[in-house]
Amino acid sequence: MDIPARQNAPASPDQAGAARSGRRTADPAFRLLVTITGMAVLVVLGAIIAVMVNGGWHAFATFGPGFLISDAWNPVTQHFGAAAPVFGTVVSSALALLLAVPLAFGTAFWLTALAPPTVASVIGMAVQLLAAVPSIIFGMWGFFVVVPVIAHYVQPFLHHTFGHVPVLSVLVAGAPFGTGLLTAGFILAVMITPSITAVMRDVFASMPAVLRESGYGLGATRWEVMRNVVLPWSREGLVGGIVLGMGRAMGETMAVTFVIGDSNHIGWSLFAPANTIASLIALEFPESPAGSLKLASLLALGAILMAISFVTLWFSRWLLSRGENTGRRA
């Protein structure tokens, strides 16, 4: 004997009205919750900026615009300037990006377009593990491995080869200590390459395969596909990855402190010891009494570092929008 299938009884008007009422109540609550979380980002950012500017106002008021162009840092005479750490931050970060971006782009393109799946999974896992290494480990590795190599091999070779060239001789001058801007830039490049690679790999993986295949079908080489297809399509994601790596490079503290040399002077040699804003704050903050001019100068340096980050981010967005407008006109 067949038993008829059981059918759900239609909901009563009271039940349907209760369900609609619950949805109407939950939706405004959800909108309020996500609005609060979004506004919390602005509140936290504003609080950080307020603390830095308010704490460093004493230094800005004492030294005026000269604080930005002076390379002095003398706690005895109470004379402080931001030029040397700003110079070290900008140069070391630029060197890191100059080394890291081509390597990250090539690695990400190879992993997504050329490498066998098994090899790509292993190398991708290694990239993720490298990104998870603490920065102090990079600093110790740089101090015990990279610094001796640069002091005993790299700098003597470059000085012997380019020491008599008018412009390049300035870049390779200095005693072979092994520490300096080039060493810091190399360590930062090793640190930020995995992060940039991971972002670029995700961007390339999200690209429709038909675009690359169309380029190959038209007879384009791998270089032409990368230049004319991959780069224009993934421009925004690539800029985001580069900005992410640059932010980590400018804000890195411990790894740079190990290898940069801790010198508050502006030297044009790549091997000259220097300082960055983050390393100087880390070294000098424990010895800065509350309410002192030295502490105010350190907070002012923090405000300057945030300003540099904001300007760099705005510049990258401007370049991106300019490229999009040029593409539309073309």
In a domain, 54, yes or no: no
Domain assignment present for residue 33? The answer is: no
Q: Is the pLDDT of residue 24 over 70?
A: no
Q: Is residue 290 part of a domain?
A: yes
Does 31 reside within a domain? no
pLDDT in tens, 41-74: 889 988 988 888 888 898 888 888 888 888 888 8
112, part of any domain: yes
**Domain contains 36:** no
Domain assignment present for residue 49? The answer is no
Which domain does 103 fall in, by range?
62-329
Residue 24 belongs to some domain of the structure: no
Q: What share of the chain has pLDDT > 90, as a percent? A: 20
pLDDT in tens, 163-217: 888 888 888 888 888 888 999 999 999 999 998 898 888 888 888 878 888 888 8
Residue 244 belongs to domain with CATH number: 1.10.3720.10
Q: What total of structural domains would you count in the chain?
A: 1
Instruction: Answer whether 0.85 is exceeded by the pTM.
Output: no
SS3 108: helix
pLDDT tens readout for residues 267-282: 888 898 999 999 999 8
Q: Is it the case that residue 152 has pLDDT exceeding 70?
A: yes
DSSP for 247-314, written as a single string = HHHHH--HHHHHHSB---S---STTS-B--HHHHHHHHGGG--TT-HHHHHHHHHHHHHHHHHHHHHH
